Structures are given as structure tokens and as C-alpha cells.
Amino acid sequence: MFTYLLFNLLGLVLGLVAAVLLIVGLLYIRKRAQKKERHMIDAATLLIAISVVVVFFSQGVYPIHFALPPMMQAMTHDKTPASLPLFASIDFLLNQDDFERVENIGRDPNDVPAPIGDREPETIEINVVAKEVISEISDGIFFNYWTYDGSVPGPMWRVRVGDSVELSLTNDETSSHPHNIDLHAVTGPGGGAAVTLVQPGETRTVKWLAKHPGLYVYHCATPNISTHNAHGQYGMILVEPEGGLSEVDKEFYIMQGEMYAIGGLGKKGLVAFDSEALLDENPTYVTFNGIVEDAPRLQAEVGDKIRMYVGNGGVSLISSFHVIGEVFDVVYPEAAIGPESAIFQNVQTTAVLPGGATIVEFTVDVPGNYLLVDHALTRMNKGAWAVLEVSGEENPEVYTELK
């Protein structure tokens, strides 16, 4: 997957050797040359030397991986820090078989923990593993995902306000990078990242008080942070208010995310991460729960009251979250929950900021398929959609075809 870098490097080295040989040859000829010819040879030598410098520093593709190095931390296969990210990339290429192949990287949107209900605050233990794996974005398109617990997004957690949370982060031994966790629900340096930086094989624990109700994004905050997020390291935690949220029939967990891949949309095989596209904020793929959907993942019955916990792992795009054929009865804008928080009613499309979330509720009245989208609709072409299948009795009073 990084063969183009090797070819670039080979081309540069061969060009450099050729230039040196040429200069040596010219200097050899110069010794026997007349004065006039020597001037010409001097000028030619100088121009060759300048052109070597210009070619080396004007390479558009090769140095892009050097755009991030001051911020990028990586390890080689034997867990020593790589002196340059390029070497970490070559190391990955040589040792890619060590990474677990995950059949389906996309977290099931139905994977929502049960409501807390009415209980007193307590101490909650959470264990999570940062793991780098290889899986498919879409059929035949393989990507080196960095995950929490082997899926994208990471698990959704559910606590109540006042709970004390002991969160242990383990970095799997097979990882090539350090990782940590920054939870937006945490009050304290780095949202937990400052005390959870783990090298491969290490575990560290942060204890924090869930002071604020709401739905919060968590993500890896290891430099280069955007690179870690764009490999899939994000998820959400719901801090329920005292007494919990109202009862609904179905809850879903959805996170929009971005992937940046060299070779562009649809390129098959193991695709390399595209740092240039990351810096340009131009993702190759925009996904709901880590993959381009190949079969409907959400199901409901006519009459179900549905609540969706919707987050945006970013890195860059603001999501205009919309369900085609539905109106949100209730939106908790920016996932704010509190006695003074405004609740929006009858909303068509709602913003989900990178590193932010929203909660939407609606009741399905008519059977059929409903598309969840980012209404910046070209992102559908990049994978930003999911299907909600609703089954049950037709409801002609609400919706029917007239001949």
C-alpha cells in the first residue's frame, strides 16, 4: 500500500546518483578544457546542482507524509519509536499480517445499553481496549482502522449524573501507536487524555465524576489527533439526568465519521491513509457507523417511538442530519439535557458538529424504507447514509398514493 513512497524514494536516490556522476564527469573533462569551455562547464555544473535541490524540495507527493511528523507519534513493530512516520509506514507494510482482520467493523446501531432508570449515583467501572485492525469500508476496500473495542464507533456507554466513573484504557499489544481517551463529559485536563496515554500493552485508569447530563462524544486525543479520529477512534457516552429520559420503543446509536484514502473513492485493496486529503478537509468516505452500508441496519414497527443518539466523530464536516420522509417530533439541540435546556419541536434537519452530538425523537406512522442522511447530499455518494426499515400496517390517512 505504500509502494508509491518506495518508488518515489528510489527515483530520488537514482536521480541524485545520476547528477553526482554527471558532475564528477564534467569536472574530469574540465581539467583538460580550454578557458571558455571551463566557464560553460562551471555554469552547467552549477545548474545541475541547483536543479537537484529544486527537484528534491518541490516533490508534491513524497513530502506530504512529512507535513504531520512533528505531531505524529508512532511505533515500529518492535515497539521502539519510529524516527520518521515514513519508517512507521514501511514497518506497517512489512508487518501488516499481525493486525487482526475484523469481519464487520461497523458497530450495530442497535447496540445501545439499557436505560439507567431511577437509581442513586454509584461507581461505574468501564474497560475499553484501543486496537488497530484491518477491515472493509465497503466490499473489497480494506482500511487500517484504529478502534475502541474493535468497532467504529466505539461502544456507547450509559451512566447517570452523579456517577463516579473508573475508566480503564488498555492499548492492545499489536498496536503501532500510543492512544488515549478524551471524553467530552469529563471535567479535567484533556477530558481524561492527560492521564490515559497508553503505549502498546499498557493500561491506565482515570476516575471522573459525571457532573453534567447530556450525550457526549469521546475520542482519541493522541497527536496527531485528527489522524487518530480519522482512523475511527471515537464513540459516545450518555449521561442520563436524574430519573432518566422518557421511555421510547426503540433507541439507535449512530455516528458520522470520515475516512481519507489514497487512490480516491472506490479504489479496491488495502488503501493507505491520505494525509493531504485530511489537511484539505476533503474526506474520501463519509460513513454512518464506520462503513458504507450494504444491508439495512435499523428496523422498527409502525407506531414505534424512536430515539436516535446521533454523534459526529468528524474530523472536519458539520453533519446536516436528516431522515428522508420523517419530521423529528423532538430534538435536543447539541444533545444538551437539562431543566433549562431548550427542546426543539417539529424539526426537518439538525446540525451535528464535529465532536458534538444530538438526540432526535420521532414516531414512525407509515411502513417503508427511510434514509438517514447528511443532507449535504453529495456525501451520500461517499457513504453517508443508512436505511431504517419500518414494517406494519399501511396508514392511508397519513400517506397514500392517489391515482
Phi, psi for residue 150 in degrees, rounded to 5? 75, 15
- The rounded distance, in Å, linking the Cα atoms of 115 and 214 is 14
CB of 247 to Cu ion, least distance (A): 36
- How many chain residues are in contact with Cu ion, going by CB under 5 A? 5
CB of 177 to Cu ion, least distance (A): 6
152 binds Cu ion (CB under 5 A): no
> Please, which residue, 222 or 287, has the CB nearer to Cu ion?
222
CB of 108 to Cu ion, least distance (A): 23
Among 135, 170, 222, 275, binds Cu ion (CB under 5 A): 222
Q: Measured at the alpha carbon of residue 183, what is the angle toward residues 281 and 120, in degrees to the nearest 5?
A: 150
255 binds Cu ion (CB under 5 A): no
Q: Quick one: which of 317, 263, 310, 275 has its CA closest to 289?
A: 310
DSSP string, 61-107: SGGGGGSSGGG---B-TTSPBPSSHHHHHHHHHHHGGGSEEPS--BP
Chain residues 277-316 in contact with Cu ion, contact rule CB under 5 A: none
> Please, which residue, 135 or 350, has the CB nearer to Cu ion?
135
> Please, which residue, 228 or 297, has the CB nearer to Cu ion?
228
179 binds Cu ion (CB under 5 A): yes
CB of 222 to Cu ion, least distance (A): 4
> Please, which residue, 226 or 233, has the CB nearer to Cu ion?
233
- Residue 60's contacts (CB-CB under 8 Å, 6 or more residues apart) are none
> Please, which residue, 91 or 182, has the CB nearer to Cu ion?
182
Residue type, 15: G
228 binds Cu ion (CB under 5 A): yes
Angle between helices 35-57 and 3-32 (to 10 degrees): 170
220 binds Cu ion (CB under 5 A): yes
CB of 179 to Cu ion, least distance (A): 3
41 binds Cu ion (CB under 5 A): no
**Residue 81 preceded by cis peptide, ω within 30:** no
* Residue recorded with cell 499489544: 173
- The rounded distance, in Å, linking the Cα atoms of 30 and 24 is 10
CB of 135 to Cu ion, least distance (A): 16
> Please, which residue, 168 or 299, has the CB nearer to Cu ion?
168
> Please, which residue, 151 or 350, has the CB nearer to Cu ion?
151
379 binds Cu ion (CB under 5 A): no
Q: Which stretch binds Cu ion (CB under 5 A): 94-102, 222-230, 280-288, 301-309?
A: 222-230
CB of 233 to Cu ion, least distance (A): 5
- The rounded distance, in Å, linking the Cα atoms of 400 and 394 is 8
What three-state secondary structure class fits 2?
coil
The x, y and z cell numbers of residue 186, run together, are 469529563
The site for Cu ion (CB under 5 A) is made up of 179, 220, 222, 228, 233
